[in-house]
Structures are given as C-alpha cells and as structure tokens.
A and B are shown apart, each in its own frame.
Chain A
Amino acid sequence: MKKYDAIVIGAGHNGLTTAAYLAKSGLDVLVLEKNPYIGGATVTRELYPDWKYSNCSYVCSLLRPELSRDLELYKHGLQVIPYVGSTTFTRDGDYFGGYDDHARLYRELSRFSVRDANAYDRYSADVSKQTRLIRPFLLRTPADPTSFKPGDIGELLYLAKTVYSMSERQLHDTLRFWTMSIAEFLDEYFETDVIKAHLAGSGIIGTALGVNSPGTAYVLLHHYMGDVDGTVGAWGFARGGMGAVSDAIQSAFLAYGGTVRTDAEVSRVIVKNGKTTGVVLHNGDDLYADTIVSALDPKRTFLDIMDANDLPEDVVSKAQNFKIRGSSGKLNIALDGLPSFNGLAKNSRLMVGDMHFIDSLERMERAYDDWKNGSWSLDPYVDMLIPSQIDPTMAPEGKHMMSVFVQYAPPTLASGAWTDTDRESFGKTVIDQISQYSPDFKDLILHAEIRTPQDIERETGLTEGNIFMGELTFDQLFFNRPFPGYGQYRGPLGGMYMCSSGTHPGGGVMAAPGANAAREILRDLKRPNIVPSAYPDD
C-alpha cells in the first residue's frame, strides 16, 4: 500500500499553500477535497453556463505578495486587477464617493465637511502606522508566551523589539487602537455620519460584532493590511473570479509533483500510539502518511474528523468553546445589463468599486442588534460590487455579474434553522434595499443565488459560514489562535498540523496560515526552510 509523506485535508487556498510548499521541498503530498472541485471558499463556480460566480470570497488584497511571487502564481495564471473607488449612498438621494485620487477625495470629503476633509490625512496616516506594525508578523509563527524554549524566547524578543522601537506615546496609541471600537475610533476624526459609515464597514465585515464593540478597529486593520501591486490597503479582482487564486496555487502544487483527489471526504483521522498516521475516507478507503495537516476549521478538525478519545480533554473543550459565529450572507446576482445608481453616471469610476447602502453608524449598529436577536438585518450593511465591468470573463457579453456581501445574517434564526422561505425573505430584504438606490436594478435580475450562513457551511465546510474560520477577537488572535497553547500550527498529537484560517494570522484569502504551517512542518521534519519571510521594510 502506498504511503504519502503528507496528507492535507481540504483543498482551500491554505491547504493548497501548505501542500505546495511541502511538495516543493520534495515531499510526496496528497490533498484530499470533499467537493468535486477545489478551492473551498476561494472558488469560482459556473452555476449557469457562461456565468462565473465568485460565490464566497469575492475580492483579493490580503494574499501575501511574498507567497504569490515565490510560488510564481502569476505564471500559473493568476491576475489581480486593482479596482478603485467606493461609494456609500445616502437616504436623501446623495452619495459619498471614496475616490482613490487624493485631491478628488479631499473635494468630496469637503462637500460634507471641511473638518472631516482635513482630518482624513491624519486618519489615514494613523491607520497605516498600525498596518506597518502588523504586516511583519503575518509570516511569522507566534511565540508561546508560556514557553521557555529558545525559539519562543527569540520570537518574544522580536515582539519586544517591535514594542521597544515605539515611543511611550506610539505604544499608547497602538494599544488603544487595538482595543477600541471602530465607531469610537472614527468619532475621534470625523463628524459626518455618512463618512463614518463609509469607513466603518471594514470593521464589521465577517465578524459577529457591531461598530460599537471594542475590537472592531482591529477588524478594520485586518482588512487594510493587504495590498495589490504594492499599494497597501488596495483591493482587486482576481480575473476569472476568486477561484483563480486556488487554481494557480493548485497548478503550482501539481508542478511540484503533488496529487489532488477531489470527491474524497475524510471521515476520520487514524490515530495510533498518540500519533496521526492516516485518514479514512467516506467511501472506506484508508490512506496513510506520517504528517497529517488539517485545512479545516478547528471545530471541524477536532470535533468532526477526530475522535474525542484520541485527543487531550482540554483540546475538545477548547474546540467546543472556539468562537466561530456565522454573521454574513451573500447574494450573487446575474444582471441583464449594468444597473444605474442614484446620481452616478454609468462611466463614473465609482461604478467599478464597492457600494454600500447604509449611511450612519446607528443603522449599522441596529443591523447588528437584529443579528443578536436571531434575525438577519432588516436594514443590512452590504458590500456590493460588479466585477464584470472590468473582468469580462465573468458574464456573457453585455451582461453583468453582481456580488453582494451581506452583514449580518445569523447561522440559525431565532425560529430555528433557515428554511427556503427564510432564504427568500432574506434575499428580498437585500434586493429591496439595493433597489431603493437603483431604480432599474430589479428588472435587470436574471437569476440570483442567495446564500445564508447555513448554505455557506454546507457547501464549503466553514462552520456556521464564518468567513474567517473563527472570530478575530483577542482571545483568538496571534498566539491564542486557534486556542491558547496551540498557536504554532502543531496539533495535540504527533504528526498532526493545522493550516486553516483558524490559525494565525487568520482569515481572508491570505495564504499566510498555510505557508506558516508548512514552515513549522519542515522544521519538525528537519528539512531546510523554503517558505519566504516577509519582505524587509514592509
């Protein structure tokens, strides 16, 4: 019977990244995927002929450039097209345009408040300071603060060096920023409701927190720490949909000699003498390897495919208490043409960017209150884009593909599990909200895919449909991710590893968890490290 060097469970972008590095290092690696297609939540699906749905993740920025260049993803077909501009429509028929051009943005901000326009540069500078602090840590394994091992002490010293490079004042600002709510943070700079609402979105996307919850400023940072072509904080479309990212990583992996098996759902991890030695598939096949890597989220990993009897007791309870709360829904809408929006010319550069339809922090917070009450938001925050304007591969000619990310939608409703009727009402809530700002939108809809957290979980395996595979709160960040004591990609058993977004530095299509896990595995196998470090002066 054939035995692999390593088996990776799950062909999402992180699983494939770990696999690619292990294969590049010369190991014989098998990736197992439950679906008939790869990509997990980083996927493009042709649900209707000629229509491409980026039906989960939909834009690209966080993907670490060190990795995409090192794995030559651009040679393997990945193209990321930056988009610029974003719009928040107001109830009075106006809109705020977040232009990428500095002078144009200043004029736009001044249209609402000169004070806000003047505050904006200070705001940007302060956020980018925090961004610069965190970026070097993305491709590092967090230290275990309770350990006395030289590696951990070295890593703690690196952290201490970063801290001691700051002045007392900078450190106060940093500690404040990391712990405060996005609403309070924005209140310190701006006075205009719509401007605050426009900027606050990144603080809540994907998280079960409201704009007033402390910790949301960090979530904003998480969305700002990426880049496209070296422009920090910029976002882009992957040509052909987000599946292009996974496809390119898979292509690199295959080129390094790896094997992918789809339609191969793992039912159980085999444990012998306290070590993971293989997996059993749903069809009964058993496969063996000395190294087993789970790209599934921590709950799926420890509560689904592993037997509690094989695990230390604390890991089971930690996995049970791991917070992974579904809070987002998604609509993918096929359009017969480009809709028009209140006051925006169809050739406005803002049309290409993301659009939002909620113009105050209060409305955003109320949207969160609905979630707490077990309902989808009746006045939801949405992040809406029409990528087919600059990526013609997404839709037939003359037609358009719209991606609508919706915050908030609970994993289960107060009334119980989502029913088809609930899904329809949820979709209607979102479509109605957009059509208030776009008179011709409803008539252009050809077909729409409405995805509740429950649907996202069923398809991708993300527990509760949480896009980050675990809340980005401090109890679950850095050395606490996924759990205290297990923040270094190693599972509780010999030969077992974790590489999902449930590990440091967390979710988003970043590939950093996958790469960091590969580095730790290679270290344990005493093989040379081939995973790149962060670019200097990043």
Chain B
Amino acid sequence: MATDTFDVIVIGAGHNGLVCSNYLSRAGLKVLVLEAAAQAGGACITRSFSEGFAVSACAHSVSQLHPDIVGDLGLESLGLQYAVKNLKTIALSEDGNHLSILGERVEGAQLSDSDRQAYGIFYNRTKRFAAVLANLAGKCPPRLVEGGLTEKLSLFKLGLDIRMLGKTEMREFMRIATINIFDVLEEQFENPLLKGAISFDAVLGAHMGPRSPNTVLAYIHRQMGSLFGFAGPALPQGGMGTVTQAIARAAVANKVDIRYNCPVKEITIDHGRAVGVVLQDGSTYSAAQIVSNADPGTTFKGLVGYPKLDSGFARRVENIRTKSDCAKLHLTLDGLPEFTGSSDAGQRMLIAPDAAYVERAFNHSKYGEYSSAPAMEILIPSVHDASLAPQGKHVMSIIVQYAPFMLRTGWDTQSKQAFTNIIVQRLARYAPNLPGLIIDSELLTPQDIEQEFRITGGHWHHCELALDQIAMMRPVYGATRYSTPIEGLYLCGAGCHPGGNVMGMAGKNSAAAIIKGRST
C-alpha cells in the first residue's frame, strides 16, 4: 500500500508528461509520475526489435523541440547530443535526378530559376506565418469570448501579430490558412518533385491528402521547427529515447518520483473532483491534482469513464478526430542501400514524386485500404550513429502513408506482410539493391502504435491538427486550455495546444496552467 503523499500525479512519462513534471517540481510541488511501460519516453523512445539493432520506435527525428525547454532543463548537459543536425530533405526520383531541400535552399532535379525563387518566397512566407503560431504555442491559448481581461489582451495580441504581417501578407495568411496545399502548390510551382515534397510535409501524420483543406495549416505548423533552430530534422545520438531520457534525468534531479511498470487503471473521482488514481494492480495514490499525459480518448473514455462525464462532453470526446493513416516500417540491413543517383543515404529521403501521387496514395485510406503506391519518409540513422547497428550494418526507419487504422480486411500477419512487400518493392525502385540487404523487418500499423504506445487511433498528434482542433479549440470544447470538466484533472499531452511532434510545449504550458490553478 502506497502511503506517500504527492501534490500532483502525472499519468504517463512521455516527453510532455516529463516536461510538465519538471516544471511542476521546479515550482516546489511534489510530483509522482506513473508510467505503464518499463522505460520513460512514450512514443519517443529507442528500442530494439532485432538483435544488435536499435531504432527510434515511433517518432524518429527531432524537428520542433523547443529551445526554451532544452535550456530550462539543461538537457544538453544531461545527455542530449545530436548525431547529426539539419538533415537535407531529398525528394527521390526514380531516374536518380533528385531534389535537395534545406531551409530556403533547394537544388537539383532541373529546377527552374523561377521555382527556386518561388520556393524561397514560399519558405520565408510560411516561416513568417509560423511565427504567429509559435508565439501562440508558448502560452495557454486564450478563450474566445468568455475570457477575462488577460485573455482578451492575449487575443488582441494574436490579432495584432497577424496584422503586423502587413496588409498583403495578412491577406495571404487569411487566404491560405484554411485551404489545401495542392492548390497553393499549383499556383506557385512547376516542378513535380518539389510539389510532391512540400505536399508530403503537409500531410505527414494526418488523415489528409494534399487536396484536403487544413494541409496548409499543417505545413505552417511544421514550419515552426525552423524558428526553433531546426532548418531540417535532427537525429539524437542513441535514437529518440535520448531526448526523453535526458528529460527524465532532469526530472529525477528535480526530485520527481518516476515509477515504471505502473499502468493506471482509473482516475478516482470524488464528488466531481479528481483525487487520485488506481493502478492496474489495485494500489492507489492520491494527490490534489492529476495530470494526464495520455490522449484525450484514453483519458476520458478509459481512465475517467464516460458514465462519470456529462453526455454532451462524452459525445464531443467520442467525435474528436484521431484517425491516423501513418505506419512505421523498420528494416535491419546487411549494408548500406544504394539509392540511384545519390551518394548520401544519410539524409531524409522522401518518396513523394508529385502531389497527385500523394493524393492517390491517400485515396485508399478513405476506403479502409492501404496505399498500393505509398508515400514515405526514409531515414537511415545508423549512417550517423554507430550505436544503433553493428559495424557495417544499418537500420532503416520509414514513415509510410497511408495505412488506415481500420483496415477493411483487418490487420493480421498476412496483410502486414503484403503491405510490407508493397513498401519494399516501392523502395526497390529507388534503391535496387535494398531487398537483398534486408535481414529483418517490423511493421507498426496504427493499431500496433495504439497498442504499444497507448495512443487512441495511433495518431502521433493524439488528435488531428485541423482548424477546429487547434489552439483554444484543442482538443475539444470542455477540455481546452489543459483543464477538463473534472476539477483537479488536467491534460498535458500532444492532444493539447500546440500539438505533438516532440516539441514539449504542451507539457510546459500545462504546468503553468496547473500552477496558476493552484494559486487561485
């Protein structure tokens, strides 16, 4: 029987849960973190699936980790080192005439001068728009109409930020923020590879195709990374687990009590107030505040239970869009694959030859099928990081779109093998020697991701990043701004503003909201 008393219990030691507990304990609170798995990290971990090899199991690169968090928690001195930073994005072409993108620079693939120029303009424009989001990402978003004076000022500041873009840019922002990337690309570019690469970045992790409205918003959201010091993705030395391990070390140094193998079964509610948790083994813990790093579905449906919630709120939670079409394929390789026309397999490579290709790949997922010609993001982290694979061997990590959560025929060994074959055949068009190098493979479908990382729907942002589910609307009315309809229960995961992508701001903002809540 646990007898320790805590001020705050954080459910889940994902990166946001750990960031949140760090800030809480720095404010003098006694914090307990309960993690179901045997290690910290949630969906940001390094693990092995084949002997001698290790891989970043879910998230596989850092592109948005907020510098404030790195600085505040001193992560660099606690082991966070990058094997490589600012990877180029190589948009692969079957004929080897690839396109290479880094920051505002783009070259290759017989790119016309007008495209190169247009890309620079596009990059800098979306970066300016991202700055508006980034300002908002650093704080608890204001209520729209029912807020107090500070919130009204905060809204006013947001309006001002948009207005300060200048008349032309403000108009452009309001024009493109709600629409689809496909149309914007058609307006501005000619090169199909360039359009393919940008459209892929706009749909990454989402149940959206390039023609789906909201994709421009998703692209701008991703562009926030460029303001946080990532012109391209970075690979932590030792895989993504290094990031969360460092945050966990900071937490321990801050006297946070982290307990592993402690899956929470339910949140105890007493007279409408969250007062503690019950673990699956029956042990109980109590605290004045409970913070859930789990996604809203898991939190409200699983840990609280709909019967304890207002039916209108339960319905809203049930309607949160969490459809994910994103699968992950890990391959262990007997050597480095040779990509036609490229000597640098260490960069971030995309298979998205044009925007229509990505849209066609998306079509399947609408009907519960996996793409017959999928779009992919490929990393071979072992090129930069020898700790991940034995000498001379390599590990490849691939994000594959689209694979629906609910496959019409059901996900089983057979369908997973069939989809793996499709992916490998597609890869072989770009790296003909790849199939011969494969030692072992592991496919994580959204269902596998849901199971392993306990994320409803396997969605890596927990909830789709779309206009109706961002900022003060995220994740759902009644549970915005980190608080919930249950007094004393808070959220701190990617399902909160400003979303996922190993940024950490949801956890930081949540801690601020909790501390503020305690003082009033």
Q: How far is the CA of A205 from the CA of B359 in the complex (A)?
A: 22
Could you count the A-B residue pairs with CB atoms below 8 Å apart for me: how many are there?
Answer: 86
In contact, B477 and A480 (Cβ under 8 angstroms): no
- Give the CA-CA distance A312 to B213 in the complex, in Å: 29
Residues on the B chain within 8 Å of A366, using CB: 367
Contact of A484 among B174, B367, B466 (CB under 8 A): B174
B144→A171 contact, CB < 8 A: yes
Is B171 in contact with A176, judged by CB distance below 8 angstroms? no
With beta carbons under 8 angstroms apart, the residue of B146, B179, B212 that contacts A474 is: B179
| Contact between A213 and B178, CB atoms less than 8 A apart | no
Chain B residues within an 8 Å CB radius of A179: 178, 213-214, 466-468
Map CB proximity to B onto A16-58 as digits: 1 under 8 Å, 0 otherwise: 0000000000000000000000000000000000000000000
Of all chain A residues, the one with the shortest Cβ separation from B214 is A214
Q: Is the CB of A215 within 8 A of B213?
A: yes
Once A145-B174, A168-B145 are accepted as A-B contacts, the answer to whether A212 and B366 lie under 8 Å apart by CB is: yes
Interface residues of A in 400-424 (CB under 8 A from B): none
A141-191 at interface with B (beta carbon < 8 Å): 145-146, 163-164, 166-169, 171-173, 175-176, 179-180, 184, 187-188
Give how many A residues have a beta carbon under 8 Å from the other chain's beta carbons. 36
| B116 touches A (CB below 8 Å) | no
Contact A146 B167 (CB under 8 A): yes
Establish whether residues B171 and A485, one from each chain, have CB atoms under 8 Å apart when the complex forms: yes
Do residues B468 and A175 form an inter-chain contact, with CB atoms below 8 A? yes
Q: Is residue A323 within 8 Å, beta carbon to beta carbon, of the partner chain?
A: yes
| Cβ distance B320 to chain A, nearest Cβ, rounded Å | 11
Q: Determine if A473 and B178 form an interchain contact, defined as CB atoms under 8 angstroms apart.
A: yes
With A212-B366, A214-B213, A323-B183 in contact, is A163–B175 under 8 Å at CB?
Answer: no
Secondary structure call for the B interface: helix
A215 to B146: give the CA distance in the assembly, Å: 26
Assess the A362–B145 pair: CB atoms within 8 A. no
Known: A171-B145, A179-B468. A321 touches B178 (CB 8 A): no
A146 to B356, CA, bound (A): 35
CA distance A171 to B211 in the complex (A): 27
Judge whether B473 is part of the interface by a CB distance below 8 angstroms.
yes
| Nearest-CB residue, chain B, relative to A165 | B145
B22-41: CB near A (< 8 Å → 1, else 0) gives 00000000000000000000
B363 at the interface (CB under 8 A from A): yes
Which residue of chain B lies nearest to A361 when distances are taken between CB atoms in the complex? Answer: B366
On whether A146 and B170 interact (CB within 8 A), knowing A214-B212, A474-B178, the answer reads yes
* Cross-interface CB contact of A163 among B145, B187, B473, cutoff 8 Å: B145
CB-CB under 8 A for A369 and B363, given A321-B187, A323-B183, A474-B179: yes
Say if the beta carbon of A196 comes within 8 Å of chain B.
no
What chain B residues lie within 8 Å of A145 (beta carbons)?
170, 174
Chain A residues with CB under 8 Å of B168's CB are 314
Is B321 engaged at the interface, CB distance under 8 Å to the other chain? yes
Which residues of chain B are near A265, meaning CB under 8 Å?
none
Instruction: Contact check, A166 vs B467: say whether CB atoms are below 8 A apart.
Output: no
CA–CA, A480 and B478, complex, Å:
31
**A170: nearest residue on chain B (CB-CB)?**
B145
Q: Digit string of B117-153 for contact with A (CB within 8 Å is 1, else 0)?
A: 0000000000000000000000000011110000000
Q: Tell me whether B179 and A473 are in contact (CB under 8 A).
A: yes
Which residues of chain A are near B214, meaning CB under 8 Å? 179, 214
A94 within 8 A of B: no
B325 shortest CB reach to chain A, Å = 12
* A480–B363 CA distance with the chains assembled, in angstroms: 30
* A146 and B163 form a contact (CB under 8 A): yes
**How far apart are A415's CB and chain B's nearest CB, in angstroms?**
16
> Chain A residues with Cβ under 8 A from B145's Cβ?
163-164, 166-168, 171
Determine whether B172 belongs to the interface, using a CB cutoff of 8 Å to chain A. yes
Bound-complex Cα distance A421 to B366 (A): 32
Interface residues of A (CB under 8 A from B): 145-146, 163-164, 166-169, 171-173, 175-176, 179-180, 184, 187-188, 212-215, 314, 321, 323, 362, 365-366, 369, 372, 473-475, 480, 484-485
Q: Can you name 10 A-B pairs with beta carbons within 8 Å?
A: A163-B145, A168-B144, A169-B478, A171-B145, A184-B321, A187-B319, A212-B212, A215-B213, A323-B183, A473-B179
Q: Which 8 residue pairs spanning A and B have beta carbons closest together? A: A484-B171, A474-B178, A176-B468, A172-B477, A179-B467, A214-B213, A168-B146, A475-B175
